[in-house]
A = this chain, B = another copy of it.
Amino acid sequence: MGEVMDQLTEQQRNEVERQIAIYTQGVQDIIPSEDLEMKVAKSILENKPLKIKLGLDPSAPDVHLGHTVVLNKLRQFQENGHVIQLIIGDFTGKIGDPTGKSAARKQLTTEEVEHNAKTYFEQFGKIVDMEKVELHYNSKWLSQLNFEDVINLAGKITVARLLERDDFDQRISTGKPISLHEFFYPLMQGYDSVMLECDIELGGTDQHFNILMGRHYQEKFGKEKQVAMLMLLLEGLDGVEKMSKSKKNYIGIDEAPQEMYGKAMSIPDSLMTKYFELVTDLTPEELEKFKADIGSGKMHPRDAKMFLAKTIVRMYHGEEAAKKAEQHFVTVFQQGTLPDDIPIVVWRGAEKISVIDLIVELKMLSSKSEARRMIANRGVKINGEKVEDTNWQVTIADDLIIQVGKRRFVKLQLV
Contact = CB atoms under 8 A, between A and B. Distances in A.
Nearest to A148: B95
A147 B149 contact: yes
A158 B179 CA distance: 4
A152 B156 CA distance: 21
A250 interface: no
A175 B159 CA distance: 11
A143 B147 CA distance: 6
B152 A150 contact: no
B152 A180 contact: no
A21 interface: no
A343 interface: no
Q: How many copies of this chain are found per oligomer?
A: 2
Interface string A286-328: 0000000000000000000000000000000000000000000
B172 A159 contact: yes
Nearest to A149: B147
A11 interface: no
Contacts of A344: none
A148 B155 contact: no
A213 to B, nearest CB: 12
A162 interface: yes
B155 A178 contact: no
7 contacts: A98-B156, A150-B184, A157-B179, A157-B180, A159-B159, A159-B172, A159-B180
